[in-house]
Amino acid sequence: MKPLIFVSLFALALASCGSPSDEDVLTPDKIRASESAPELPEIQLSENPEPPPAPPVTEQPEVNELENAVENEAVGEGVPGSIPPAFQDHWGVVASDCRQGPVVGTGMVIGEDQLIFADSSLELQGVLGDYPERFSGRFADDSGAEQRQDLVLTGSSNVLVRTSGGQRTTYRRCGAARPTG
């Protein structure tokens, strides 16, 4: 019974296809008509699509001038604010940094408006950028000298990369669950 139904459906499908209609057949008249279609306008393409190179710099600053410019560069004012709660915790570079009590070794505690290290602390003076898992701020040390600190969370927010003065330090959140295996 099943083969009979299949053969009937197949025959019906072939019969419905039929032959091409007259408008589908390509004739010499239709070919000539398509050849006499209006021509497209001429387009002038540039031989060199690249922009012209920048003019050469005639005067190069000395290396010392560049270093001094970076050192003396003023940190932007920023806006009032605080360090986001996602960053606020006890952080350590090595496991011994995470012991209870005052900050030791290379550890760091981030509070609402300060970074506390074993031998110093930095007070937040202004927020320069506050994005998900990224914070930049203008901080002042105990002597009043200002510096920019950039904090970036990675690794499910259990790893923090702090960039200051061109140096990067990677911390791990103290007390965060450690992967096993």
pLDDT in tens, 30-68: 777 666 656 655 656 556 555 556 666 555 555 444 443
Eight-class DSSP state of 158: T
94-143 confidence digits (pLDDT tens): 999 998 888 999 999 999 999 999 999 999 999 999 998 999 999 999 99
- Which whole-number Å values give the CA distances from 54 to 46, 49, 58, 61, in the listed order? 19, 15, 12, 18
pLDDT tens-digit profile of 76-96? Answer: 677 889 999 999 999 999 999
Q: Is 91 exposed, middle or buried (0-12, 13-18, 19+ CB in 10 A)?
A: buried
Which of 47 and 24 is assigned the larger pLDDT? 24
Going by their DSSP bridges, the two strands 159-164 and 146-154 should be labelled as: antiparallel
pTM of the complete model: 0.56
Q: Is the pLDDT of residue 177 over 70?
A: no
Residue in 167, 164, 115 with CA at minimum distance from that of residue 142: 115
Shortest CA distance to 113 belongs to which of 145, 81, 76, 74? Answer: 81
Can you give the pLDDT at residue 14?
Answer: 59
Task: Extract the tokens encoding 94.
Answer: 């090595």
**pLDDT at residue 150, as a whole number:** 96
In sequence order, which residues have a C-beta less than 8 Å from that of residue 42 and are 6 or more positions away? Answer: none
Is residue 169 predicted with pLDDT exceeding 90? Answer: yes
pLDDT score recorded for residue 63:
45
In the structure encoding, which two tokens stand for residue 174, read together? 């103290």
Question: Domain coordinates of the chain in residue numbers?
Answer: 80-173
The single-letter DSSP state of residue 175 is T
**What pLDDT was estimated at residue 51?**
58
CA dist 62 and 48 (Å) reads: 35
